Amino acid sequence: MSESERLPADVTDALEMILEPGDPVHAALREQVPHLRLHSRCTCGCGTAYFEIDTETVEPAPINPGSPVVAAAPLVTEDGECPGEVLVFSYGGYLTSLEVCSWGEDIEPTLADARRWLRSYD
């Protein structure tokens, strides 16, 4: 995979913050990150990213087929506010997207905000 096809650093960082290496399912999903390509981003500016993956190059994670959400983390601001969350989705054991969700209209978090607030959440 060439450098231009790799995920942008902001997306990779967010995935690494949310997918816990000690969790067997998350560990398997983390193995997929180097094989992901950015398909598209949400046009609203939130930073939601949609992925493509060559399923021939990596094994699927052993996930619960009943839920597409494989990881979630609340966003906690410096003031202790919780304006949203970041969700990671998969289909068939393969990562499909990372979504930055807003819970209100006061703050519409971007992926840059999410990365900062996920750090403070750790």
Is the Cβ–Cβ distance between 63 and 14 less than 8 Å?
Answer: no
Predicted confidence band at 120 (pLDDT cuts at 50, 70, 90)? low
Which two tokens mark 109? 């978090």
* Across 70-81, average pLDDT: 89
Q: pLDDT class for 51, splitting at 50, 70, 90?
A: very high
pLDDT bucket at 4, cuts 50 / 70 / 90: very low
50, 52, 53, 54 alpha-carbon torsion, rounded to 10°: 170
CB 47 within 8 A of CB 100: yes
Tokens for 80?
């202790």
Write the pLDDT tens digit of every residue in 17-40.
Answer: 999 999 999 999 999 999 999 998
User: How far is residue 81's CA from residue 69's CA, in Å, rounded to a whole number?
Assistant: 23
